[in-house]
Structure 1
Amino acid sequence: MAEGGPHGDTCARYDGASGFSFILSVLITLGIVISYLPQYHRIRLKKTSEGLSTQFLLLGSCSSLFTLTNIILVSSRARRCCLQGELSLFNCISSQINLVQISTQSVCAILILVFVLHYTRGSIKQDKNEYKRIVLVGKFVAGHVVVSILEILFGLVNAYEAPMMIIANVNGLLSTTLTMMKYIPQIYTTYKLKHPGTLSIGMMCVQTPGGALFTLTLFLSKGSHWSSWISYFVAFILQGTLLSLCVYYEYFKSDGVEAQLLERREIDRRINENLNATDADEHTDAEPHLDEDANEHNNIQS
């Protein structure tokens, strides 16, 4: 049996993959995609980033990139075993299921930023200064993508050497750190606003218990590494806290009426502010969306 890494791991660690665990992992992957759909729909419907902190968008995207870089490097050991013919076809496929899961989750998380950038651009409901900050976030994340690609290429060149695992571990720890930094500002933002805003409760209702199950499958999978699942465990704890706040403000505090009024007042303030803006260039950029958003706002109030 071929040696599989700097710590004396062998390809045998990937043998004996469970069919049940594989099917469960596939279902979780589908669940990840479904869980993000309410958030995408909410951004498209509201056309505002109200309730989504800039730090949440930045750190969430960067955390996903760190985790994606980690799993691409960690799972390269199993791919090498497959290429050497040391594993059966099923064990080879099973050894890469974590890569599929984490890649799917990472892309879905980054798409939140993409949707915000696209659907709030020029919207009468969007705070213009906030949008400028979000654009800067988008540029920073794009730069991070380039750095991650370079890290992956360097790590794969040294696939069986210590540098690969050092890069993987550092990315895993950075992902965990940013996960904590991501949720704490978002929890504070929700606590301050006293309403969820554009933040989707439906998404979190699926993702919070799903996150616990996701972490468990990553932990129990053959050849799993702590640096690939620790950030998801931390995310499960913090997202549960955020979900509890959103549910309380939306459904329990004053029967949710206060949350709706606070959100509507903020949207009204932004609409009035944008309508009264004197900057000709900004007015021109926003004009294609004014009639649509104004009509939508009037329909909501009526």
Structure 2
Amino acid sequence: MHDICHLDSDWFVNALATFLIIGLVVSYCPQHLRIIQIGSSEGFSPWFLLLGSTSSAAGMLNMIALSWHTIQCCNDLSVGKCLEITAGVTQVVLQWVLFTTILVLYMIYYPARLKYVDIDIPAHGTLPPQHVKTKLLSDDWRLSVNVSWAVTIHLVLITIITFFVLSTRIQEPGGEVPHQISLWATFLGVSSALLAAIQYAPQLSRTYHSKLVGALSIPMMIIQSPGAFVMSISIALRPGTNWTSWAMYAVSGIMQSALLAMCIAWKFRQRRLKIDDFGYSLDSSSSTPLTDDIDTVVGEVSDPQVGDMSFDSNAEDAREDVPLLAKPSRSARSSRFFGWLRL
């Protein structure tokens, strides 16, 4: 305990940790601001957000469990020294907070036009069919709500188990990490790395099939792709950590680099076709997508009792002249913060 609490200052490790903490905030800001500014989170895969949130949560608690002795040193040290020796923990906690914020913004700014199933009612004569909104939730929105609850339940569960293991630990002779903590931390680290390995698969699939960037932020990925490898090195240099603590960030860096390359390729394609990130023409006011490859994400009607469905006569019809990213009113935005909790 004494050696851990009174380690000599390493200017390189401290400078690297400070750089990464600032870099994390700077790298996530473009994505957060992009979703808020365009008022839409279209283009994200709910599975990507589920896997990323659970992976970062497991990685965070892995670091906390392995660094618990170091964290306890703050009771006897100055604030500056405490921040120095717990910089690795700060990095992973910040990583989890910033990524989970994307999930929160995804739910708040989920396009209202995609929350419910639309049907076409044939019109008489040569008139075009009418688009009518139903009260049936789309499969994608239902999945998004379930993902949010799954992330919350997972976080609560592993947090309770982690602090239970820490509170009942049996100290090993020689100051080694207690066996039960080592086993639990290994489970968290391995599960975090496995989740990170498959985290980008659904997002890569959605982005590949849509052939559009959507609400994804290329500047964020440009900063984070190499930053993930630097963060792996920074965590590996921290006392008390092992390969399970940094493996998740190395795997994430590789997968995110692949997503970045795909988004850059689609950017060039969009420029060639003169369409925006959501597939709409830049040369006209038409709101009809110009590409046939767009993932509509409206989903199938999940209620088999189609005959019993009721229509909302006051809902705005999804006409062809309705803008894709209509800016919601201030009151509508404020109601989104808790409205997504209800099905």
- TM-score over 0.5 (shorter chain): yes
2:325 & 2:102 partners in 1: Cα distance?
23
State which of 89, 99, 105 in structure 2 corresponds to 1:99. Answer: 89
Give the match for residue 279 of structure 2. 263
Cα pair 1:63 1:178 within 8 Å, conserved? yes
Give the match for residue 100 of structure 2. 110
Give the match for residue 16 of structure 2. 24
2:295 & 2:52 partners in 1: Cα distance?
28
State which of 11, 14, 17 in structure 1 corresponds to 2:4. Answer: 11
Cα pair 2:212 2:267 within 8 Å, conserved? yes
What percent identity do the matched residue pairs reach?
Answer: 30
Give the match for residue 33 of structure 1. 25
Give the match for residue 45 of structure 1. 37
Cα pair 1:15 1:91 within 8 Å, conserved? no
Give the match for residue 59 of structure 1. 51
State which of 163, 167, 172 in structure 2 corresponds to 1:153. Answer: 163
1:235-254 CA distance string (max 9 Å, x none) = 01111111011111112x37
Please state which structure has a larger fraction of its residues in strand.
Answer: 2
| Distance change >3 Å, CA 117–CA 11, structure 1 → 2 | same
Tell me the CA shift for residue 162 of structure 1: 1.2
State which of 224, 246, 270 in structure 1 corresponds to 2:263. Answer: 246
Aligned counterparts, 1:69-88, within 5 A: 69-81=61-73, 83=75
| Distance change >3 Å, CA 259–CA 55, structure 1 → 2 | farther
1:73-127 CA distance string (max 9 Å, x none) = 11102134555x5x78765432210110100000111111111111226x22557
2:224 & 2:103 partners in 1: Cα distance?
18
| Distance change >3 Å, CA 257–CA 92, structure 1 → 2 | same
Give the match for residue 205 of structure 1. 222
Output the amino acid matched with 1:11.
I
Tell me the CA shift for residue 279 of structure 1: 5.1
Deviates more, 1:170-179 or 1:190-199: 190-199
Cα pair 1:61 1:110 within 8 Å, conserved? yes
Deviates more, 1:99-108 or 1:179-188: 179-188
Could you state the TM-score of these two structures normalised by the residue count of structure 2?
0.70
Give the match for residue 124 of structure 1. 113
Cα pair 2:115 2:141 within 8 Å, conserved? yes
Cα pair 2:229 2:253 within 8 Å, conserved? yes
Cα pair 2:213 2:277 within 8 Å, conserved? no
Give the match for residue 144 of structure 2. 134
Aligned counterparts, 1:205-224, within 5 A: 205-224=222-241
Tell me the CA shift for residue 26 of structure 1: 1.7
Deviates more, 1:168-177 or 1:45-54: 45-54
SS at match of 2:215: coil
Output the amino acid matched with 2:87.
I
1:146-166 CA distance string (max 9 Å, x none) = 102212221211344311111
Q: Does 1:170 align with 2:187?
A: yes
1:197 & 1:279 partners in 2: Cα distance?
32
Could you state the TM-score of these two structures normalised by the residue count of structure 1?
0.79
Structure 1 regions of 5+ residues with no counterpart?
3-9
| Distance change >3 Å, CA 154–CA 258, structure 1 → 2 | farther
1:259 & 1:63 partners in 2: Cα distance?
34
1:58 & 1:193 partners in 2: Cα distance?
20
Cα pair 2:206 2:295 within 8 Å, conserved? no
Cα pair 2:114 2:141 within 8 Å, conserved? no
Please state which structure has a larger fraction of its residues in helix.
Answer: 1
2:254 & 2:193 partners in 1: Cα distance?
12
Q: Which has the larger radius of gyration?
A: 2
Alpha-carbon RMSD: 3.3
1:20 & 1:227 partners in 2: Cα distance?
23
1:210 & 1:73 partners in 2: Cα distance?
24
Give the match for residue 6 of structure 1. none
1:102 & 1:268 partners in 2: Cα distance?
33
Q: Does 1:182 align with 2:199?
A: yes
1:198 & 1:235 partners in 2: Cα distance?
19
1:104 & 1:93 partners in 2: Cα distance?
14
